[in-house]
Structure 1
């Protein structure tokens, strides 16, 4: 029986590349190219996306090849498309909250408390919900705060669901809802039962936001003072009555 020879470097299959590889490639593109000498760089070198450059001084740096630049460009196009889809859905959710008679904000940073390990019962963290809204009311205890977290990519959703502390921070400041977008084939990125039961779920179906599962009602007495201060410093999404002020002069 003839022993098989190991495949040569030309015959070896290229290593599978993931997000970590693309991230490292971007870091090298933006930097002076100093090597880390880890397996990520080995994969990128083997794939022909990086090349080693030897300086006259004897130092070695890394340079992104033309093939690496093409991969960076393709990744940027995909990221921009995903970002645009995400931002469009965030805007839509915020507008829907306004139509429902709520006051909505985007891009807030709110202090929240989450369970802590060790002797401390809780710890403070910063929650950054895609959309945060409250009822348009003058009674502080009736504000009914709600967090909407928007996901348009399944990988991002699954990574988010593994982060229990992030979800706990959202639940500390209000009801938590996940809004699930569609993939390139128009299918929802996840089934509603993949989202933990303490959260509500909205899905996009045929261009409409559809209730898949309501969030459990939680007793809440208003909002902490720190959240009120953050809301006071931020501009809410324009509501349906944004053009009402000029009409006041027509009543005379």
Structure 2
């Protein structure tokens, strides 16, 4: 009984205090808004990109479209390609890293320019080595914004060479009015086509198991030796490369 009386008195006292507060004009109420501060946003970006996590070696498996032309002007030709890149990047200095790996390229082309469904299919594996200079890394480390990791802008030099090539195709022969099937596997000495790339790009980590790497720059390719035919003299070609990879990294 005493416990019930005590509870009722406590409830009445709390009610009277609330009523007095409501009648008092000096009492004001405000609702605090939830706002994301600049420092909290920066901490979130650092967490996503792992900007403050020290890493020495990064293993990367990424994909990128090689070439995709859905339709030509006559809506009959199409081309689709994909690159799979497997690379290991190791930091030898907070601003410098070395890379090594392979690049697998697959390309399918369908031609109907003359009303015949010709097609080509090729697969190629290339070996790649390179180095990168993350030019803003040292300054960011001095400012306490990043660690010895792989998130940053860079200038890179990369060399590559095909080591395996497979080709298969079907083309219409107008002289015989028949389709001719062709298949060829190139040997290593037939693929003497080394290339050198000068790249500018940026790489960012995406959480613990992801990365994105975008770069662009000129490529110098040397063609020489024997390739599907007789021996010929060396020639050089300059092209412009653009690569955008996204994949797994750990």
Fold match by TM threshold 0.5: no
- In our comparison, the structure showing a higher alpha carbon Rg is 2
Structure with a larger share of its residues in strand: 2
Structure with a larger share of its residues in helix: 1
For CA contacts below 8 A with separation 6 or more, give which structure has more relative contact order: 2
Q: TM-score, normalised by structure 1?
A: 0.25
